[in-house]
Amino acid sequence: MRQKKYVTIILTLLLMILLYSIPVLISSQYVLRICVYVCIYSILACSLNLIAGVCGQISMGHAAFYGIGAYGSALVCINYGIPWVLCVLIAALLSGMVGMFIGIPALKLSGGYLVICTVGFGELVRLILLNWVSLTRGPMGIVNIPRPVIFNTKIKTGGQYYIVALTLFVIIYIILHNILNSKFGRNLKAIKEDEIAAETMGIRVHREKVIAFAVSAAMAGAAGAMLAHYMLFISPTIFVGDFSTTILSMVVLGGMGSMPGSVIAATLLTVIPEALRGLDKYRMLIYGLLLICMMLGKNVSWESTIPGRKLASMKTAVLTKHIKNRKGVK
Amino acid sequence: MGLLSVNGICKSFGGLAAVSDMSFEVSNGQIISIIGPNGAGKTTVFNLLTGFYECDEGSIIFREEEISNLPPYEYVNKKLTRTFQNLKLFPNMTVLENVLIGYQSCITYSRLDAILNTRKKRLGEQKAREKAMEVLQSIDMEQYAMEKCSSLPYGVQKQLEIARAMVSDPQLLLLDEPAAGLNPQETEQLAVFIKGLPAKGYSVLLIEHDMSLVMSISDYIYVMDYGKLIAQGVPEDVQQNEQVIEAYIGRGGFKHVIGS
């Protein structure tokens, strides 16, 4: 048991070293750009996974929180000249608060009703961004967003941006990991399985859902802040319902409730469209087909392809069989 | 003063009186059963006792405190926990996690502790795990701890649901048909198990259809039919009660059978 723990720690460290040395190993600005997007989309997928995968409350408005974070951070930075790290926190707080206010009524609904409700919310945010011209400059978008400054260093190169985005992703991933391994995470899993039983065991179902929704929204907001100060230009066309669907498909492809799965799926769904650029006009056609094939081939979550998990599930199967046989003898 | 005293509770759905003017008491260390034909309103009484339905009338006093019409999640803190007629476990979670959910009201670290993975959280989790394993050991289930709950045989799952209710440290356990779907051997084990509960500090309110189980372990029995209390007494008396026999078999039908 202890040995296994050490192996996990060493593997994690190696992976971290590898990820952080990417800018040293690769000099192509194009590849680094994709890597930054992988980080941002991984944050989005993992945060949506908390509410949709772990807690079972499907939300189709995640791009809206991403947008609120991006606009919030950009506007605060331009108008008040606040340091970027604070901007990220403000963006997260803002998104989280909006998430909470929307979550309180919306999470009284479940299943299809909740999905439609969040679609409506996403559309609402997009329309506000598009039409509140005095604040958001409407369809013209916000330009000249300042680059982040961290420890008196202005982040300029692709490599630097990648390190910042990766760090943000790692922080959020650790937070999610800690949540899942705590009472809070366990309560969310229980709510997904059976709300009535969860309530009987003393879990305040609605409150837990709202908090999870707010945490998830706050994380999407942080991802938005990263995007705004990387692209240096944002417009309402980025934060459309289509993009919410893309994030949700990352969560579903990666396996509901599996954080490593979400990261792998976010990576695949970012890299594949780029890899298909050579196909020109057939690109999205092939991408769509690939997506269908991946969903069909997935069957079970990515986790079951990890050897340890497979072994555990096989062990369970053998034990169940054994118990059944023994019952038969009786 | 008993542990639980229910005074004249009523509940109707539209024109149908599911429970009307039902009163009963449970004292510390007792096993009390509620029996009655299907549809008599037994489970409705449980739902009223645990806040899933609101009482139209009447009061429920538990540990000298009015507890009717609270939200369902409050009852664990009041030290009253129930199980369900159709298993309500968390099927895709492990056995250990299921028990830990039962224990969750006793875990005190905050969400911030959880996010920062503080020492308080780690100690809290460790303590909870130890307590959960202890409970699993006491019912000989520690070998299943890491198994997914849905992979276990039905009888074991039934037992697990009671264990999950027990870890929340209730004074009164409401068991809704714990023997349903069990084979005779398992039912016998269950009887021994339930009989041992008062010694461990749990009083029991039981709904059950298996008469031999009810008669062998109950201290006192309440009989319901059509939402009303029709008889009560110690098992021997209830067995002889005319009204009870009539409720279960039906007078006319029985005579008809004998007559032909």
Domains defined for chain B, CATH in brackets: 1-79+171-260 (3.40.50.300), 87-169 (3.40.50.300)
The residue ranking higher by pLDDT, B255 or A226, is: A226
**Shortest Cα–Cα distance, B241 to chain A (Å):** 36
Q: Do A202 and B97 touch (CB under 8 A)?
A: no
Of A169-183, A235-249, B90-104, B108-122, the least confident: B108-122
* In chain A, residues 208-267 whose CB comes closer than 8 Å to chain B: 211
- Chain B contact set for A179 (CB, 8 A): 114-115
**Shortest Cα–Cα distance, A133 to chain B (Å):** 38
Nearest CA to B139 out of B94, B85, B99, B100 is that of B99
The residue of chain B nearest to residue A203, with distances taken between CA atoms, is: B73
A25 touches chain B (CB under 8 A): no
Q: Given a cut of 60, is residue A316 above it in pLDDT?
A: no
Cα dist from A191 to A102, A124, A194, A212, whole Å: 19, 28, 5, 11
Q: Given a cut of 90, is residue A211 above it in pLDDT?
A: yes
What domains are defined for chain A?
A: 31-299 (1.10.3470)
CA distance B114 to B100: 15
Q: Do B153 and A205 touch (CB under 8 A)?
A: no
The residue of chain B nearest to residue A191, with distances taken between CA atoms, is: B90
| β partners of residue B204 | B31, B173
Which residue out of B83, B84, B88, B97 would a mutagenesis test of the A interface target, given it has the greatest number of A Cβ atoms within 10 Å?
B88
Q: Do B88 and A189 touch (CB under 8 A)?
A: no
Cβ proximity of B80 and B26 under 8 Å: no
Q: Do A183 and B97 touch (CB under 8 A)?
A: no
Instruction: Encode pLDDT of B153-206 as tens digits.
Output: 888 888 888 888 888 888 999 999 888 888 888 888 889 889 988 998 899 999
CB proximity list for B221: less than 8 A, separation 6 or greater: B32, B33, B34, B35, B214, B232, B233, B234, B235, B238
Cα-based angle A202, A207, A209 (whole degrees, multiple of 5):
105
- Chain A contact set for B181 (CB, 8 A): none
**Shortest Cα–Cα distance, A100 to chain B (Å):** 16
The residue ranking higher by pLDDT, A227 or A323, is: A227
Q: Do A203 and B90 touch (CB under 8 A)?
A: no
| β partners of residue B60 | B6
Contacts 24+ apart (CB under 8 A), A123-127: A123/A241, A124/A64, A125/A61, A125/A64, A125/A67, A125/A68, A125/A239, A126/A64, A126/A67, A126/A236, A126/A239, A126/A240, A126/A241
Cβ proximity of A12 and A221 under 8 Å: no
Residue A29: both structure tokens together: 């600005």
* Three-state secondary structure of chain A: CHHHHHHHHHHHHHHHHHHHCHHHHCCCHHHHHHHHHHHHHHHHHHHHHHHHHHCCCCCCCHHHHHHHHHHHHHHHHHHHCCCHHHHHHHHHHHHHHHHHHHHHHHCCCCHHHHHHHHHHHHHHHHHHHHHCHHHHCHHHCECCCCCCEECCEECCCHHHHHHHHHHHHHHHHHHHHHHHCCHHHHHHHHHHHCHHHHHHCCCCHHHHHHHHHHHHHHHHHHHHHHHHHHHCCECHHHCCHHHHHHHHHHHHHHCCCCHHHHHHHHHHHHHHHHHHHHHHHHHHHHHHHHHHHHHHHHCCCHHHHCHHHHHHHHHHHHHHHHHHHHHHHC
- Chain A contact set for B128 (CB, 8 A): 183
Query: In terms of DSSP H, where are the helices of chain B?
Result: 42-49, 95-103, 111-116, 119-138, 154-167, 184-195, 211-217, 235-240, 242-249, 251-259
CA dihedral A294, A44, A165, A159 (to 10 degrees): 30
CB proximity list for A217: less than 8 A, separation 6 or greater: A47, A65, A68, A95, A96, A98, A99, A100, A103
Nearest CA to A196 out of B243, B90, B28 is that of B90
- Chain B contact set for A180 (CB, 8 A): none
* Three-state secondary structure of B17-40: EEEEEEEEEECCCCEEEEECCCCC
Instruction: Encode pLDDT of A77-131 as tens digits.
Output: 888 888 888 999 999 999 999 999 999 999 988 888 999 999 999 999 999 998 9
Instruction: Encode pLDDT of A276-307 as tens digits.
Output: 888 878 878 888 888 888 778 765 544 444 44
pTM here is 0.85
Instruction: Encode pLDDT of A41-70 as tens digits.
Output: 999 999 999 999 899 898 999 999 999 999
- Chain A contact set for B114 (CB, 8 A): 178-179, 182-185
Reported as type and span, the H/E element at residue B80 is: strand B80-82
Q: Given a cut of 50, is residue A329 above it in pLDDT?
A: no
B74, B89, B114 ranked by CB distance to A182: nearest: B114
The residue of chain A nearest to residue B170, with distances taken between CA atoms, is: A201
Q: Do B114 and A185 touch (CB under 8 A)?
A: yes
A183, A197, A211 ranked by CB distance to B107: nearest: A183
Question: If you average pLDDT over residues B63-75, what whole number do you get?
Answer: 88
CA distance B138 to A54: 31
A176 touches chain B (CB under 8 A): no
CA distance A37 to A53: 22
**Shortest Cα–Cα distance, B84 to chain A (Å):** 9
- Chain A contact set for B90 (CB, 8 A): 189-190, 193-194, 197-198
Q: Count Cβ atoms within 10 A of the Cβ of residue A146 and give its class: 0-12 exposed, 13-18 middle, 19 or more buried.
A: middle
Q: What is the pLDDT of residue A325?
A: 52
Fill in the amino acid letter for A243.
Answer: F
Q: Given a cut of 90, is residue A240 above it in pLDDT?
A: no
CA distance A144 to A232: 6
The residue of chain A nearest to residue B118, with distances taken between CA atoms, is: A178
B74, B91, B151 ranked by CB distance to A316: nearest: B151
Q: Given a cut of 70, is residue A311 above it in pLDDT?
A: no
Q: What is the pLDDT of residue A321?
A: 52
How many interface pairs between A and B have CB atoms less than 8 angstroms apart?
A: 108
Chain centroid offset of residue B153 CA: 21
Q: What is the pLDDT of residue B259?
A: 43
Q: What is the pLDDT of residue B251?
A: 60
A320 touches chain B (CB under 8 A): yes
Q: Do A193 and B92 touch (CB under 8 A)?
A: yes
Q: What is the pLDDT of residue B1?
A: 55
Cβ proximity of A244 and A252 under 8 Å: no
Q: Residue B150: which region, alpha, beta or left (left: phi > 0; alpha: psi -120 to 50)?
A: alpha
| φ and ψ at residue B233, rounded to 5 degrees | 155, 180
Q: Given a cut of 70, is residue B258 above it in pLDDT?
A: no
A324 touches chain B (CB under 8 A): yes
